[in-house]
Structures are given as C-alpha cells and as structure tokens.
Structure 1
Amino acid sequence: MEKQKLGFWQIWNMSFGFLGIQFGFALQGGFMSRIFQTLGAEKDAIPLLWIAAPLTGLVVQPIIGYLSDRTWSARWGRRKPYFLIGAILSSLALFLVPHSPVLWIAAGFLWILDASINVSMEPFRALVADKLPDSQRSYGFVIQTLIIGIGTWVASNLPWMVSKLGVSDAAPSGVVPMSVKVAFAIGAVVFLISILYTIFTTSEYPPEDMEEFKREKAKKNQFISDIINNIGNMPSTMKKLGVIQFFSWFAFFTMWSMANPALTEHVFNTPAPVEANYNMEIAEDLLAFNTTNEAFQKSSNLVGSYMGTYGLSSMAFALILVLYTSRKRINRKIVHMCSLIIGGVGFLLMYFIPSPEYLTLCFILIGFAWGSILSMPYAMLSSAVDPKRMGVFMGIFNMFIVIPQIIAAIGGINIISNLLGEGAINAMIIAGISLIIAGLCNFLITEKSAISYQTIEE
C-alpha cells in the first residue's frame, strides 16, 4: 500500500501527544533527583534510585511494540489504545509523585511513572513509520523533536514559573515544596490533554493484508520466541546504531540523575543540607537548616530552568531541520556525529564556568545533541527494518537506550566519576566524554539508505 504524503499540520497533529510525554519525562528528569534529595537521599545513592526508569523501559517497550503490531480496531486503530492507557496512568503518577512521604514511595512512583510513559511513547515512534512514506521519515521524526523541545523547555521551567507566581519553595524537612507539587499537577493535565488531541485528530492505516494479520494474531505463545528471533535477526544498521545509542544515553541518564546535585553544589554553592548535621530541637540549628534548604530548593528551581534550555535549543535545531528536510536531503550520519560532539563539549564546560549564567551556553550545546538523538537514529533505523515489524523493532531498539542507563544506575556513574574525585560535578565530565565517544561512533554507519534519503521530493 502506497502511503500518502502528509502536510505539516497532519504530522504535527499525529505527533502532538509527544508534548505531554515530554512534560512527563522533563519533570521526571529535571526534578526526581531533587525530590529524592529532599526526602533524604545521599548523592551517591541517587543513580541507583533511578534504576526503575530504565528497567521498566527494558521490559515494557518491546512488549508494547509487539502487542501494538498485533492490534487493530476499526474505531481506535493500532497504536492509539496504548497512547490512551499510558496517558491515564502517567497523569495519575505525575500527580502523586511529589506527594511521596518517604524515599521508597518516591522510588516506587518513579517506577510506575516511567512504565506508564513508556506505554505511550513506544507506539508514537512506530506511528511515524506507520503513517509516513520513506521520503518523509526524517521530516516526521524532526517534527516530533520540535514538539519534544517545546515540552522540555516549558516543563523544566514549571517549578520556577510557579514559584514566581508566589507559590512557596519553603517546606519542612522531608517535605517536597508546594511549587514542585503544583508543577507536577500541571504536567499531569497537559499529558492527558495532548494525548487525547492526537487520538481525536489522527487516523491510522489498517493492516495491508487483513487476512494475514488475523492469522498472525491468532497464533499463540509466540511472544518470547518472536522477540528472541527478532533480536537475533536485527539489521546490521540497528546494531551499529546501538553502539551510538549506548554512549549517548549513558550521558543523558547521567545528566538527569546527577545534574541537580552536581550543579547546586559546584555552580550555585548551595548543596542539599544533611539533616543529621543539625540538631532540629535547637532553634538556631532549625533556622539554619530551613535557610539552607530553601536556598537549595531555589537553586534547584534554577537548575531545572537552565536544563530547560536544552529543550529550547533542541526545538530550534529541529525547526532548522524541518525547514531544510522539507525540501532537501540531509546526511543523517554527519548531522548526528557533529551534534553529539557539540553536546559533549557542553557537558565539559560545566566544570569550568565562572558563574551560573554560563549554564545557558552549556545547555544550548547539549540541546543540539538531544535534538539529534530524538530524530536521527530513528530516521536511520526506520529505513532499515521491515515495516510489518516496526513496532517490535522500535521496542527492541529501546534496549540500546535502557541497558546503558541500567549500567550507569547500578554503579557505572559512581565508579567512573570517582576516578576523577569526589565532587558530583565529575559526573558531568563523564557525560561529556561519553557523548563525544558516541559522536565518533557514527563512523560505523556505512549503509547509504540509512545515511541519507530524499525526504520529500527530488
């Protein structure tokens, strides 16, 4: 079946749900470590507390990809039922996370939140490949990146914006400030509304051969064998992209889990107070703790706000690519390589900047890498896999995202960064080096169909 070329607004509508998904990811990535620290976590324990996120992705995405490939409803389509289920669960989890009374409950809610976001996210990747002909794949994934950039910037600034409106950053020991609670509640509403917008504005193609689809669906007990078979027969381009993804996502997981302790400590000089160092029954100590804690919370707002810059930067990067790829071909390999190296430099600069204002430059550079990570690998991959198995391959491809995060969480970040010293900022140095390695690994990509495809018209 020949797929119809879509206009900008049609692709925008089918991708708009990613605004909500990115609200969820940005709030999680920018503020979960802050919540963990507020609830008493030591900085060396933070990466392990994050392990729920990659573990759920490792399990959930291949399953959802497999199931969505085998789903069809004349009313709801193939991917949209999973959008809706994930959106409802994610919105509930977003609302509840900042209300966690103790650390283990916050870690549990992170597990639920990440699993729910993954239920929505994987089918969105497959939807672009489902709906668009090969000539529009880069264009489609770049528009997704544009929407993701908007979501990242707005969501990352939410606690700061809410604080500016007069909502308090102060809170007793072990309690998440109201500014964060309100921000997460807003994120929950945006998540659900944006997913519903895509569901009601986008139709899906039915399976090309309905009889064959029904026969495949009727087969039982093939999930594990099919997944293993697809892993064993993944295209060589997918394996090479996996190496690039490994170092890319090790870097970004390091940022999400460690940027708040690293930057509040190294750049703002307002590390999280340790309650054990204060006698809370003495008025002077209690005042000192509250003052230090409020300074940490305000610095954390600013860290989140500066982190939002990488979303804004990725949005600008994506907009440039949208304008270019709407008419001309791009060399995906070179674009991805240069973008990752530029992002790596942004991480390295964090160690040397003389004042917080320079974080804007650092995150602008990181945004180029983020914009490319969200579009170029998927555009290259979609040109190399069987369209009938697009969902399951997109899910399997997620392994190359979550495995490096698991390695980072169970000790990779702490072990490697401690080689450079005890400061939390060393984790950002490791992130920079990892991203530069990812960029250089693009030399592995040699397949012409993956490197460049005419995106709209010759």
Structure 2
Amino acid sequence: MASVAAAIEAQGAVERRKRQSLLGLLNISFGFFGIQIGFALQNANMSRIFQSLGTSLDDLPALWVAAPLTGLLVQPVIGHLSDRTWLGRLGRRRPYFLAGALLAAIALLIMPESPVLLVAAVMLWVLDASLNVSMEPFRAFVGDMLDKDQHAAGYGVQTAFIGAGAVVGSIFPWMLERLGVSNVAAAGAIPDSVRYAFWFGGAALLASVIWTVMSTREYSPDELARFDGAADAGEEAHVLRVLAARSDAACLAWIAAGAAVVTLVALTGLEKEVYLLGGLLAAYGVASLVAVRRARGGQGAGMLGHIVGDFSGMPTLMKRLALVQFFSWSALFIMWINTTPVVTGRFFGAANAGSAGYQEGASWVDVLFATYNGVAAVSALVLIPLLARRIGQARTHIVGLVCGAAGFASIFFVPDHRWLLLSEVGIGVAWSTILAMPYAILASALPQRKLGVYMGLFNVFVVVPQLLVATVMGSITKHFFPGEPIWTMAFAAATMLVAAAAMTRVKGFAP
C-alpha cells in the first residue's frame, strides 16, 4: 500500500493538504482541552474518591485497573472503525469525538454522587471508556488534517491544550475551596469542592469537543485519496496472507504465558489483580489463533484479523517507540496512583482519608498536578519546538525523559510540600515530550489511511504498563514497604531513565 502511494506521488498525482493557520491548528485540537479536563479530574481525584468511600491503600491499584483495561480494549477498535467511517457532514473522526464526549459528560455528572464504592468503580470504567472513544481519533485527526511538515506543530498545539486542560481540571477543586466551597465531607461522602469540579468538567468537555466539531471540516475520502494515493486493492489479500503464514505455536505461546502467570499467582499468593494480566496474555493468544484460523479458512480478515495483523506487522520504528512508551507510561501511572497517599502521608502526616489534614494534602496534589501540566503546556509551545529544531525530535524526547526522572527522584529530598513544585517542573517537561514527540515521529512515518488503527495499537503500549503497575505494584508495595508509598517514586524515576535509554535506539529512525 505504501509503495502504491509512493509511486503515485512520484508521478506528481498526489496533492498536498492545505497549510493550516494558527487558528486552524487551534480549532483542530481544541476538543482535547475538554477531554484532558476530564482525565485530569480523574487522575487527581479518583484515589481520593475511592479512599473517601472506604477503600484501603492496598486496594487502590485494583480499582484503577478499570481505566487502562478500558483503553486497551477500546482504542484499537475505535481506531480501526474511525479509519473506515464516513457519516456525511459529520465526517470520519468527529462522530467519535461527539459520542465519547456526551457519555463522558454524563459519567462526570454521576461520579461524585456515587453512594458506594462499587458505583464509583463502575463510573470510572464508563468515564475512561468514553474519554478513550473521544481521545483516540483525535490523535489520528491531526495526521488527517495536516501535511507532514506541520505534524510537529500540530501535536505541539495538541500537547499545549492537553496541558492547559489538565491545569484547569487539576486545580479546580483547590480553587473552589479558596472561594469558600467546602472541602470536607462526612465519612463516606465526597466534598462539595470535588463534586462541583466534576460537574464543571463535564460541561467544559462537551463544549470544547462541540467547538472542534463545528469549526473544522474533515477531508472527504476522495480528497484523502488524492493526498495519500488510492487505496491498495490488495490490502485485504495481504492481511490474509500474513495471518495465514503465522505459526499456531506463536499463538499458543501467548496462551501458555497467560496460564503461567495465573499459575504463579496461585502458587505464590500474589495479589489477585495479577490474574488479569494472565487473562489478557491468554486472550491475545486466543484472538490471534481465531484470526489465523479464519484467514486459513478463507473467511476474510474482518476487524479482528486486521487488528491482529497490523499489531504483529508493526514497522520497526513503531516497535522501538513502543518500548519507550512502555517505560515512560509506567512511571506516569505510578505517579497518578500514588501521589495522593505519598503527599498526604509524608508531607501532611495524615493517612486517614476522613481527616482535615488528608483533605488539605489531597488539595495540594491538585496544585501539583496543575503545575506539571502547566509546565507541559508552556514547554510544548516554547521549549520543545526550539530543542527539536536544534537537536532533533528523538534527542528532545531523551532530554525530556531525563528531566522527568530527576523530578521523581527529587521527591525523596525536598524538605516540605512547597518544594514539590520544583519536582513537578521536571515531570512537566517530560510530560510535554511524551505527549508530542512519539506521535509527531509516527504520524510522518505511518500509512495515512491506517493512521487511526496504528495510533490505537500504539496506545496499547500506553495501556499495558498501566495494567502492570495496577496489578503488580500493589503486591510490591504491600510486601516490601507496606505503608510507605514514597518508594514507588523510586520505581518511577528508574523506569523513566530506562525509557530514555530505549529512546537512544530510535535516533537513527527519527528526524
């Protein structure tokens, strides 16, 4: 398929997309501002909500499993479907923006009213699924709308909106408290500051996505064909050949790995959430086996076959970036789960979720999260473009990851909670490169007609480390340093450094 597009381009038949103005770049990504408000409210407050409803520190990772598991299931499917969607005036990606935003707004309305822990956990599942339905096509949308020479700028603007939305979502409960809204609640209840912030987030999310839907016009399938070349009529046959050539032994190996993990949990007494990891490994093996058998039987690839085939046939560049994503997002998920207990326990001396000190510390976490997101927004517009021009996109990402590792490590040494703001500067620089550089590199290298499914599959390597952290980190914390979650930040610093080392293998492939 890529060779066909290259041949057409060589003959001068491929047109170029219209170069977008700054306003055009802003309109394309403005919906991400609201989506990130939703993610920020979730990341900064879900541990607080779960603990307020009675869960223990050891059980937090299990409750957080819902979010990455939902992303793992939703993103490749939505990416595949959005590549093949065209709903008249609504277009290709925008139907998914709108549907996801509406469902997420409803979840944000219901979440803080959860009467019991089970309802809150279910609402987290619904919220994260809905946010992923909106978010995944936005990644591909930038590639759809921009030529390659604007990809870095497009993802930079998107990162700036992510940072700005996260600042608003993270700091809003703290701001409401300063305006006189109650930040304390009876046992088993959620403070008004959190409730009102979630309601505001739902409204802001829906409004910002509607802005992008109304202010942009997607290119039609005919226009995209003129930009990227005609679709390869042999693509389906190629996928079937790739699947049919796969060995059953490889599929069975995934199933065996899943069974081994389940057996290890049963024999060693690890946390029961680790069963999920084994189940996922086995499920991928089963899905691969079904796809292979269907291809050999001449039944067509279907959605399952295309996703399995594209996953197993990822380009080398994507595989190397996937390893970087795996380690960098492991560090981020450790931070999102554990920052609240670390800050409230170590710096405010309040492990009890019902105490005023705990609520004060949890509100300071909102400020910290707003800080790293604010730094990311500024970095994406100022620092990252400058570095990318001087040293290239790959080296820029390495610098960002090292800054993140330094930020996590510094948490061990700061004398009080106010100095944590300095730690968040390093984390914010890392966050800006994590959100921009891998996607800019990939969007310029992947087949444009399959950008949705490839972006969805790439995000598997955002989700899998989160599942590992949620299932394994709880066991590590419980067995080696119970009641001392500060040590999870050492893991975050180390994994961020490993990500930086892995990025050195990408330098030869990226600009």
Which residue is equivalent to 1:25? 39
Is residue 38–residue 205 contact of structure 2 (8 Å, CA) maintained in 1? Answer: yes
Distance 1:129 1:329, change over 3 A: farther
Give 5+ residue unaligned stretches, structure 2. Answer: 1-14, 237-298
- More displaced 10-residue stretch of structure 1: 435-444 or 123-132: 435-444
Query: Deviation of residue 419 (structure 1)?
Result: 3.8
Which residue is equivalent to 1:319? 381
1:71 aligns with 2:132: no
Q: 1:258 aligns with which of 312, 319, 338?
A: 338
- 2:461 & 2:182 partners in 1: Cα distance? 40
1:229 aligns with 2:312: no
Is residue 417–residue 430 contact of structure 1 (8 Å, CA) maintained in 2? Answer: no
- 2:475 & 2:382 partners in 1: Cα distance? 37
- 1:213 & 1:120 partners in 2: Cα distance? 26
Q: Which amino acid aligns with 1:316?
A: V
Moved over 3 A (4+): 208-217, 321-326, 416-422
Give 5+ residue unaligned stretches, structure 1. Answer: 274-291, 453-458
Query: Deviation of residue 9 (structure 1)?
Result: 1.1
Is residue 139–residue 322 contact of structure 1 (8 Å, CA) maintained in 2? Answer: no
Matched pairs, number: 430
Which residue is equivalent to 2:243? none
Q: Which amino acid aligns with 2:24?
A: Q
Distance 1:82 1:214, change over 3 A: farther
User: Over aligned residue pairs, what C-alpha RMSD do you find?
Assistant: 2.1
Deviations 1:25-67 (A, max 9, x none): 1000001000011011111110111000010000100010000
- More displaced 10-residue stretch of structure 1: 315-324 or 354-363: 315-324
Which residue is equivalent to 1:346? 407
1:310 aligns with 2:372: yes
1:367 aligns with 2:447: no
Which residue is equivalent to 1:333? 394
Query: Deviation of residue 324 (structure 1)?
Result: 3.7
How many percent of aligned residue pairs carry the same amino acid?
41
Spell out the pairing of 1:383-422 with structure 2 (5 A cutoff): 383-415=444-476, 419=480, 422=483
Is residue 171–residue 177 contact of structure 1 (8 Å, CA) maintained in 2? Answer: yes
Q: 1:103 aligns with which of 117, 142, 147?
A: 117
- More displaced 10-residue stretch of structure 1: 219-228 or 374-383: 219-228
Which residue is equivalent to 2:10? none
Q: 1:204 aligns with which of 183, 208, 218?
A: 218
Give the TM-score, by structure 2 length. 0.81
Distance 1:204 1:62, change over 3 A: same
Which residue is equivalent to 1:272? 352
- 1:417 & 1:6 partners in 2: Cα distance? 52
- 2:46 & 2:474 partners in 1: Cα distance? 17
Is residue 384–residue 433 contact of structure 2 (8 Å, CA) maintained in 1? Answer: no
Spell out the pairing of 1:239-254 with structure 2 (5 A cutoff): 239-254=319-334
Which residue is equivalent to 2:244? none
- 2:390 & 2:336 partners in 1: Cα distance? 33
Q: Which amino acid aligns with 1:437?
A: V
Which residue is equivalent to 2:440? 379
1:10 aligns with 2:24: yes
Deviations 1:199-225 (A, max 9, x none): 0001111123499779899x9761001
- 2:384 & 2:323 partners in 1: Cα distance? 26
Distance 1:13 1:329, change over 3 A: farther
Q: 1:60 aligns with which of 48, 65, 74?
A: 74
- 1:176 & 1:433 partners in 2: Cα distance? 35
Distance 1:255 1:418, change over 3 A: farther
Q: Which amino acid aligns with 2:352?
A: A
Q: Which amino acid aligns with 1:117?
A: L
- Secondary structure class of the residue paired with 1:16: helix
Which residue is equivalent to 2:357? 295
Is residue 58–residue 474 contact of structure 2 (8 Å, CA) maintained in 1? Answer: no
- 1:30 & 1:67 partners in 2: Cα distance? 31
Is residue 413–residue 427 contact of structure 1 (8 Å, CA) maintained in 2? Answer: no
Q: Which amino acid aligns with 1:297?
A: Q
